[in-house]
């Protein structure tokens, strides 16, 4: 059994993921083994093999290739010359030095942009011009303002169009050598950089799928890669839409849980209110019972008093006190559940745990 056959068998038995453990040279061989299996060309076209170090050892995964990677892409036609160019391209053409590009590559860059924007708008996307009159320095190209943008399903993707540089060994001039000899702080550059005819598109914004940069290569020109760039914009828009819908669903589920928590809090609040009312009735009964005993003791003392104004006044007080005790005694009215007042936000807070009474 070959290494590939053995590895694929192990992955199939383990559900597509295995972790090679151990130590020493045997474990260290697995990255090169996985690379060799990838190069063999015998992995099914619908599968991808990944390998990487993890806490337990070396992890190997065989996963399905995303469907968008298997899609057959229609080439994006690039016009041989610009006749009626897109409005975004016309805005670029009005700049003194469009995109900061040299004249030999400027026309081709504008034709590529026109083709890409036209294909994107045919797919239902929109576009807009950006800061089209500058070329960002190399160290800022991933953070610079875009030359133009394409928006797909609410996701805006920024585009920078850059001119590649050719690097050659710098040959120091006599003047540079003399200045460097006189001043040790002067450094002669090691390389010279000159603009080439190769272009690069740098994308920003959204979730990357294929890549975030496309460039002319010896085997593939940007014209041949425009379909992938157009697809990338669509994929980022679809990912943004899925994320938006997921957030809406998460917010809906969260509100459902909050409403259930609020309903339970109202139930607990009502029960707590009834308990407090019950305990208050018991306390009122004990208070009324104590007062009734006191009134009875006073009555016994007054009955022993001789007739006269003092006794008459005392008897009047006893009548008032007895009436007051009757009003205080909850047993003098039939028991019933209390009416529950509408709770305020702070009334519900003790029953909500981590939730806020004001919203999810």
- Segment 206-249, tens digit of pLDDT: 999 999 999 999 999 999 999 999 999 999 999 999 999 999 99
Does 303 fall in a domain? yes
Q: Tell me, what's the pLDDT at 197?
A: 94
For residues 88-109, give the mean pLDDT.
Answer: 93
* Whole-number Å distance between alpha carbons of 282 and 330: 8
Average pLDDT of the chain is 92
Q: Is the pLDDT of residue 190 over 90?
A: no
pLDDT at residue 152 is higher than 90:
yes
Instruction: Clarify whether residues 53 and 202 are in a common domain.
Output: no
Residues 95 and 161 in one domain: yes
The confidence score (pLDDT) of residue 136 equals 85
Same domain, 51 and 99: no
- 148-162, 181-195, 346-360: the lowest-pLDDT one: 181-195
- Judge whether residue 349 has pLDDT over 90: yes
Q: Flag whether 269 is in a domain.
A: yes
Whether residue 78 lies inside any domain: the answer is no
Co-location of 225 and 322 in the same domain: no
Look up the domain containing 58 and give its range: 3-65
Within a 10 A sphere around the Cβ of 167, how many other Cβ atoms? 12
**Structure confidence at residue 179 (pLDDT):** 78
Q: Does residue 251 fall inside a structural domain? A: no
**pTM score, two decimals?**
0.75
Cβ neighbours around 115 below 10 Å, total: 21
Q: How many domains does the chain have?
A: 3
Q: Domain check: are 92 and 216 in the same one?
A: yes
Angle of CA points 169, 172, 175, to nearest 5°: 160
pLDDT at position 213 is 96
Write out the DSSP string of 139-167: GGTTTSPPSEEEEETTEEEEEEEEEEEEE
102 touches 163 (CB < 8 A) = yes
Expressed in angstroms, the distance from the first to the final Cα of the chain is: 59
Q: Which helix (H) or strand (E) holds 196?
A: strand 191-204
CB 100, CB 199: distance < 8 Å: no
Q: How far apart are CA 344 and CA 350, in angstroms?
A: 12
Question: Please, where are the H alpha helices in 71-169?
Answer: 87-93, 103-122
């Amino acid at each position: 059994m070959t290494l590939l056959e053995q590895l694929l068998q192990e992955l199939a038995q383990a559900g597509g993921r295995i972790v090679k453990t151990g130590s020493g040279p045997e474990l260290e061989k697995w990255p090169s083994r996985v690379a060799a299996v990838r190069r063999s060309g015998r992995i099914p076209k619908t599968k991808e093999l990944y390998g990487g170090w993890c806490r337990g050892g070396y992890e190997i995964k065989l996963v399905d290739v995303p469907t968008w990677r298997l899609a057959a892409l229609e080439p994006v036609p690039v016009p041989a010359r610009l006749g009626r160019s897109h409005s975004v391209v016309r805005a670029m053409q009005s700049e003194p030095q469009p995109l900061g590009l040299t004249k030999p590559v400027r026309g081709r860059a504008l034709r590529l942009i026109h083709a890409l924007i036209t294909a994107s708008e045919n797919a239902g996307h929109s576009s807009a011009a950006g800061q089209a009159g500058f070329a960002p320095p190399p160290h800022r190209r991933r953070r610079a303002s875009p030359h133009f943008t394409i928006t797909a399903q609410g996701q805006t993707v920024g585009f920078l169009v850059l001119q590649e540089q050719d690097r050659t060994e710098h040959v120091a001039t006599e003047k540079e050598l003399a200045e460097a000899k006189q001043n040790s702080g002067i450094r002669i550059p090691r390389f010279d950089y000159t603009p080439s005819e190769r272009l690069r598109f740098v994308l920003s914004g959204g979730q990357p799928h294929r890549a975030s940069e496309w460039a002319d290569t010896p085997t593939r020109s940007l014209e041949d890669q425009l379909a992938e760039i157009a697809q990338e914009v669509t994929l980022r828009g679809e990912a943004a839409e899925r994320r938006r819908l997921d957030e809406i669903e998460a917010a809906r589920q969260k509100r459902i849980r909050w409403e259930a928590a609020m309903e339970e809090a109202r139930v607990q609040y009502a029960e707590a209110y009834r308990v407090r009312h019950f305990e208050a009735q018991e306390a009122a009964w004990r208070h009324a019972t104590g007062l009734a005993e006191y009134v009875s003791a006073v009555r016994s003392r007054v009955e022993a008093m001789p007739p006269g104004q003092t006794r008459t006044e005392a008897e009047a007080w006893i009548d008032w006190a007895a009436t007051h005790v009757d009003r205080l005694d909850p047993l003098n009215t039939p028991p019933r559940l209390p009416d529950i007042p509408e709770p305020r936000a702070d009334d519900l807070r003790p029953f909500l745990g981590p939730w806020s009474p004001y919203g999810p």
